[in-house]
Each structure stands twice: as C-alpha cells, then as structure tokens.
Amino acid sequence: MADKTIFQKIGDGDIPVKMEYQDELCFCIRDINPQAPLHLLVIPRRLIARLDSAVEADEALLGHLLLVGRKVALGLGFEDGFRIVINNGPMAGETVPHLHVHVLAGRQMGWPPG
C-alpha cells in the first residue's frame, strides 16, 4: 500500500492538528504557511490526488468541499469575501498530491494570481 499523504495522516489522526471543521467526508484545517489572515484547507478524507483524478461520482463531494469552505470562512467572521483556490498538478503549484481546497480571506486579493 502506498505511503499515506500528509493530509491522510492528519485526517486519520496520526498527526494531531486542530480541526476547524470535520465530518465523514472531509475536514478543514488552517494552512501551516498561511498566505492570508485566514488560510484554510478543506480536504476530502478519501485520497483523490488532484482535481484531474476526480470522476463523475465525486461531483457531490466536490460541491461539499466548497460549501464547507464557505461555511467555515463565514463562521469565522470573514464575510467581506474569500478566495477559493485549487492547484491542479505541479505546474499549477500543487505540492501535496491530495486534492484540497484553499480558502483565503482577510486581505485584498490581487489579480491575476501568481
């Protein structure tokens, strides 16, 4: 069996991390290297390496990740706006090969993103 990703280890409780939210499908933690005052990661418990690897059966799960990100950001008081980012593959900046949704808030965002 392949080594667990860092996010599988966190989700399985092998590495103790404060969860901002969790349910049977996903969990939400703060990014260890925040790029904004609020920087959350919403991560499916089941390993999907990247968005490219998702299939039609993952449609509801993918929507759930977005709604969880919204719920946690609003619950923490970041009502002025937030940015959702999914890096798909190394060229896009994905460093952990386990699909995750970044939720960034608390500062003015620029465009285009780097």
Active-site positions? 100
Question: Which of 57/90 has CB closer to ligand AMP?
Answer: 90
Q: Any contact of residue 47 with ligand AMP (CB under 6 A)?
A: no
Binding residues for ligand AMP restricted to 59-88, rule: CB under 6 A: 87
Per the document, the length of the chain is 114
Residue 106, both tokens: 């608390």
Determine the straight-line distance between the first and last CA of the chain, rounded to whole angstroms.
36
Q: Any contact of residue 29 with ligand AMP (CB under 6 A)?
A: yes
Cα–Cα distance for residue pair 26/29, rounded to 1 Å: 10
Q: Any contact of residue 20 with ligand AMP (CB under 6 A)?
A: no
Residue 102, both tokens: 């970044």
**Residue 81 Cβ vs ligand AMP, minimum distance, rounded to whole Å:** 20
